């Protein structure tokens, strides 16, 4: 009788827990949600995070708060979410370069693939190859010819060692068979500032960082480093189209959740993100930054990350990039 009583009690507790979760899942969120951005305010991930947070707060009637936790190439923010309770109240916006590249360059105390679940991508931020006006080249092929004739005169700036800017430059060197000196900075802004002053001759960067300078004639865009043309410059060829086969440096931003987050919560976020990304107001706000909507969900998104990781693994190995 005691065993039957114990079993009955256990079943009752389980049923109660399931019922409670069912109710809480349908009512989610019942308290503020934090979206952690692993970078400083002002970047593409911060911009996208705040767009999502603002609209979702209005739609759900619950505060969605963006927390910037920059540092260690995104590892501080990423680690905070990995350690968070998988209850849907701590999420993460992250560019694919961090998800794909950081595990290749650093020994992390966790497995990124097993610890973070991609909920949905939000937008694609095109990478642009931009040069200072003093560089005597109007096309990618003219730049390659100039670089080969002047191997000691070309320096490319990046947002730091191991960033997508850096890897894009190394991939260019491999595909074009040219030599360029890498100058790492602590972020995109200082790299672009030195490009504007002519201290470096070329930068591979997100379009949002150089769009206004290109339109003002202060910088010259030679090509789209990403795999697809961009709406802001419809006549600008990709580097692949410009004679560098299989060149692709794609940047997109994704919302992640800790592994183990209940599927009903993930499903609610997927539906919400799809709505936000497709709003006319969102598309207009993104267009000002040269950013394009890019909604993709878990399964196909996971495959994109696999392909992205393998692409940069090859570049890191070939360029012998090692970080301490």
- Residues 133 and 166 placed together within one structural domain of the fold: yes
- Same domain, residue pair 48 and 78: yes
248 torsion bin: left (phi>0), alpha (psi -120 to 50), beta (else) = beta
For 209-252, give the DSSP string.
Answer: HHHHHHHTTSSEEEEE-SSS--SSSTTPPBTTTTT-TT-----E
Do residues 218 and 132 both lie within one domain? yes
Same domain (yes/no): 117, 141: no
Please tell me the distance from the alpha carbon of residue 119 to that of residue 53, in angstroms, as a whole number.
Answer: 15
**Domain annotation covers residue 42:** yes
CATH number at residue 215: 3.40.190.10
Backbone angles phi, psi at 118, to 5 degrees: -70, 120
Residues 281 and 307 in one domain: yes
Together in a domain, 99 and 133: no
CB 130 within 8 A of CB 202: yes
Q: Give the other-Cβ count within 10 Å of 252's Cβ.
A: 24
pLDDT of 41 reads: 83
Whether the full predicted model's pTM is greater than 0.85, yes or no, is no
Residue 264 has phi, psi (to 5 degrees) of -60, -35
pLDDT value at position 43?
79
CATH of the domain at 115: 3.40.190.150
Domain count of the chain? 2
The pLDDT of residue 13: 40
> Which stretch of DSSP H or E encloses residue 256?
strand 252-258
Q: Which letter does DSSP use for residue 106 in this model?
A: S
Which pLDDT value is given to residue 296? 93
pLDDT number for residue 122:
95
What's the domain range around 293? 31-124+251-319
Q: Which two tokens stand for residue 3?
A: 């065993």
**10-residue mean pLDDT series, the chain (324 residues):** 43 44 69 93 88 97 94 87 97 92 90 94 95 97 96 90 92 96 89 96 94 96 94 93 94 96 96 96 90 89 91 92 77
């Amino acid at each position: 009788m005691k065993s039957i009583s114990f079993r009955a009690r256990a079943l009752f507790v389980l049923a109660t827990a399931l019922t409670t979760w069912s109710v809480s899942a349908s009512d989610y969120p019942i308290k503020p949600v934090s979206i952690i951005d692993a970078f400083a305010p002002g970047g593409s991930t911060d911009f996208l995070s705040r767009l999502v947070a603002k609209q979702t707060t209005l739609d759900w009637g619950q505060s969605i708060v963006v927390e910037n936790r920059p540092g260690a190439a995104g590892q501080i923010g990423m680690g905070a979410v990995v350690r968070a309770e998988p209850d849907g109240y701590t999420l993460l916006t992250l560019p694919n370069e961090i998800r794909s590249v950081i595990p290749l360059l650093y020994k992390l105390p966790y497995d990124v693939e097993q610890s973070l679940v991609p909920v949905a991508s939000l937008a694609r931020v095109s990478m642009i190859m931009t040069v200072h006006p003093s560089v005597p080249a109007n096309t990618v092929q003219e730049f390659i010819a100039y670089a080969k004739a002047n191997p000691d005169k070309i320096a490319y700036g990046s947002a730091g060692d191991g960033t997508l800017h850096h890897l894009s430059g190394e991939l260019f060197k491999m595909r074009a068979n040219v030599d360029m000196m890498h100058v790492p900075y602590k972020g995109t802004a200082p790299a672009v500032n030195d490009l504007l002053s002519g201290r470096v001759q070329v930068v591979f960067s997100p379009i949002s960082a150089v769009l206004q300078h290109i339109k003002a004639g202060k910088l010259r865009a030679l090509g789209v480093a990403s795999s697809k043309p961009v709406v802001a410059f419809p006549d600008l060829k990709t580097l692949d189209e410009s004679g560098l086969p299989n060149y692709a440096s794609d940047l997109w931003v994704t919302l992640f959740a800790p592994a183990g987050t209940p599927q009903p919560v993930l499903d609610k976020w997927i539906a919400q993100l799809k709505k936000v990304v497709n709003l006319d107001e969102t598309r207009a706000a993104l267009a000002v930054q040269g950013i394009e909507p890019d909604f993709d969900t878990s399964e196909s998104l996971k495959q994109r990350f696999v392909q992205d990781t393998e692409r940069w693994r090859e570049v890191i190995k070939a360029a012998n990039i090692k970080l301490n």
